[in-house]
């Protein structure tokens, strides 16, 4: 069986890490694309030269032309500009919106059957714009945010409780930003919900609130430390989990920015919710009942995403 072709649109920090992980996991052949000349070619060659040492078989190419996307099974989009200290994800909006229009046109022309994962920020608005610009079915275009936000939450919780990250599950809803909604009662250690762990004396409510807060600001914490860019190892690993679930039809339940058409009371918007990802793309939106403070927080987050989408509509009315 021929290997699947995975196209990475954007070959910067996340793109390079994605390319390496795809090789290490033998998920397919890799095409790295970027507007910067030489960068995708150089990274592709460098990673290919590591394959004999690590013992993986994958073909790597670098390209500056969209033709290279031809027949890709998966496209992962990181093209655009990352955050600098003091910049919010929203500041990136107008720059990256233009990039999504170009990338969407390229995917439409050369890879219309692909499963597309958008990582470019501000995520929920960019994935919305990318779907519009590419015209691909909604279930084939998703945004990576929830897996990353959940992973950050899981890591902080595992560290707090001194248990394996494998035994911590987390549930994060809403937009990828300061308004995201980590759902404490659906987050567990080996099936024990966090509120029960507070009652059991494993941690205090105040500590838990701090961890939730740190999760919400997880991206900014790294931007402030790095000073020259934003996180890339964990974002890349998260997108790979989504790509793998699609390519291997694993049907994993992964929090993703997915198109909502009435679910959670939201229409024509991409917002972070749990979805089943399999060979058909987004095969199901998992709709849980939200009440009280969780509903309020979710609605606030949806409002923030709506604000960004409205800003996109103003800048690029042709996208509609």
Binding region for ligand APR (CB under 6 A) = 10-15, 34-36, 39, 78-80, 82-83, 92, 96, 99, 102, 119-121, 229-230, 232, 235
* 191 contact partners, CB below 8 Å, separation of at least 6: none
For ligand APR, which is the closer residue by CB, 143 or 276?
Answer: 143
For ligand APR, which is the closer residue by CB, 83 or 194?
Answer: 83
Residue 293 CB, nearest distance to ligand APR (Å)? 29
Residue 35 CB, nearest distance to ligand APR (Å)? 4
Residue nearest to ligand APR (CB): 12
Asked if residues 171 and 186 have their Cβ atoms less than 8 Å apart, the reply is yes
User: Cα torsion for 289, 294, 297, 302, to the nearest 10°?
Assistant: -10
For ligand APR, which is the closer residue by CB, 102 or 306?
Answer: 102
CA distance 244 to 250: 8
For ligand APR, which is the closer residue by CB, 17 or 187?
Answer: 17
CA distance 298 to 260: 14
Asked if residues 23 and 46 have their Cβ atoms less than 8 Å apart, the reply is no
Closest CA to 148 of 238, 13, 242: 238
For ligand APR, which is the closer residue by CB, 35 or 165?
Answer: 35
For ligand APR, which is the closer residue by CB, 104 or 187?
Answer: 104
Residue 174 CB, nearest distance to ligand APR (Å)? 17
Residue 138 designated active-site: no
Strand partners, 284: 276
Asked if residues 68 and 32 have their Cβ atoms less than 8 Å apart, the reply is no
CA angle 27, 32, 282 (to 5 degrees): 50
Half-sphere exposure of 105 (CA within 13 A, CB side): 8
- Integer-rounded Cα Rg, in Å, for the chain is 19
What long-range pairs does 40-46 form, CB within 8 A, spacing at least 24? Answer: 40/8, 40/11, 40/15, 40/64, 43/11, 43/15, 43/16, 43/19, 44/19
The tokens describing 145, both together, are 């945010």
- Strands 115-118, 74-77: pairing is parallel
Asked if residues 284 and 275 have their Cβ atoms less than 8 Å apart, the reply is yes
Q: Which of 20, 59, 138, 176 is catalytic?
A: 176
Residue 11 CB, nearest distance to ligand APR (Å)? 5
Residue 17 CB, nearest distance to ligand APR (Å)? 8
Residue 196 CB, nearest distance to ligand APR (Å)? 34
Known catalytic residues? 176
């Amino acid at each position: 069986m021929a290997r699947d072709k995975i196209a990475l649109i954007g070959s910067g920090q996340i793109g390079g890490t994605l390319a390496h992980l795809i090789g290490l996991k033998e998920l397919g052949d890799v095409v790295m694309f970027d507007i910067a000349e030489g960068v995708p070619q150089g990274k592709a060659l460098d990673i290919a030269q590591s394959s004999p040492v690590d013992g993986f078989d994958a073909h790597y190419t670098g390209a500056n032309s969209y033709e290279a996307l031809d027949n890709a099974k998966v496209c992962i989009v990181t093209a655009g500009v990352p955050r600098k200290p003091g910049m919010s994800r929203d500041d990136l909006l107008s720059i990256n919106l233009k990039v999504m229009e170009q990338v969407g046109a390229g995917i439409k022309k050369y890879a219309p059957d692909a499963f597309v994962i958008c990582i470019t920020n501000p995520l929920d608005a960019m994935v919305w714009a990318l779907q519009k610009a590419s015209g691909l079915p909604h279930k084939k275009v998703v945004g990576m945010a929830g897996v990353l936000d959940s992973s950050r939450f899981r890591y902080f919780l595992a560290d707090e409780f001194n248990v394996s990250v494998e035994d911590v599950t987390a549930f994060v809803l809403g937009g990828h930003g300061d308004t995201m909604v980590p759902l404490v009662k659906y987050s567990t250690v080996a099936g024990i919900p966090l509120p029960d762990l507070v009652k059991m004396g494993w941690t205090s409510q105040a500590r838990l609130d701090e961890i939730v807060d740190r999760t919400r600001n997880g991206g900014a914490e790294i931007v402030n430390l790095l000073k020259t860019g934003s996180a890339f190892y964990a974002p890349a690993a998260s997108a790979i989990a989504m790509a793998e679930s699609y390519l291997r039809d694993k049907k994993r339940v992964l929090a993703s920015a997915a198109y909502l058409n009435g679910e959670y009371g939201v229409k024509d918007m991409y917002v972070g919710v749990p979805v089943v990802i399999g060979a058909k793309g987004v095969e199901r939106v998992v709709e849980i009942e939200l009440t009280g403070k969780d509903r309020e927080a979710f609605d606030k987050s949806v409002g923030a995403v709506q604000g960004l989408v409205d800003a996109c509509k103003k800048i690029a009315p042709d996208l509609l």
